[in-house]
Copies of this chain bind each other. A is one copy, B any other.
């Protein structure tokens, strides 16, 4: 079973049980963003949460094995088109140089890791319209001289 078939199986089971990603994530004791990304095939899941997830959704061991495989991460665009994803790309374009200035001012020459990294989505209620709060947390990696 490859990652694409795995994702289909999980989404089918999730719909049948009418579960949200948040409920699944809570059910296995991990973060919602990470669990969703592993279910969409963009991260590998260690054995323990994979087993819990398959128990929760009554999925086979093949699904568990596919969740544990190391993925080849790829996406279908250089510039994304879906408006929700494009807005994130636009933020990188508009604020990329700014973040480089501000992060390197605080930390020195280096980068924020996208590997040793976590992310969270929260809802901020607001009478003028609710707000999405994205929090990214990545290890700072300084450049090395040798």
A positions within 8 Å CB-CB of B: 20-22, 30-34, 36-37, 40, 42-46, 49, 70, 72-75, 78-119, 121, 123-124, 126, 128-146
Kindly state the separation between the CA atoms of A107 and B22 in the bound complex, as whole angstroms. Answer: 13
Work out how many copies of this chain go into the complex: 10
Rounded to whole Å, the gap between the CB of A72 and the closest CB of chain B is 5
Report whether A102 and B33 are in contact in the complex, using a CB–CB cutoff of 8 Å.
Answer: yes
Additional A-B contacts beyond A21-B101, A73-B83, A78-B78 (17; CB < 8 A)? A22-B106, A40-B97, A43-B143, A44-B109, A70-B104, A73-B81, A83-B90, A85-B96, A85-B99, A85-B100, A87-B111, A99-B134, A124-B137, A126-B139, A128-B139, A130-B139, A136-B136
Interface of A is mostly: mixed
Report whether A131 and B135 are in contact in the complex, using a CB–CB cutoff of 8 Å.
Answer: no
Residue of B nearest to A75 (CB): B93
Report whether B141 and A129 are in contact in the complex, using a CB–CB cutoff of 8 Å.
Answer: yes
Chain B neighbourhood of A46, CB < 8 A: 145
Report whether A101 and B40 are in contact in the complex, using a CB–CB cutoff of 8 Å.
Answer: yes
Kindly state the separation between the CA atoms of A75 and B141 in the bound complex, as whole angstroms. Answer: 22
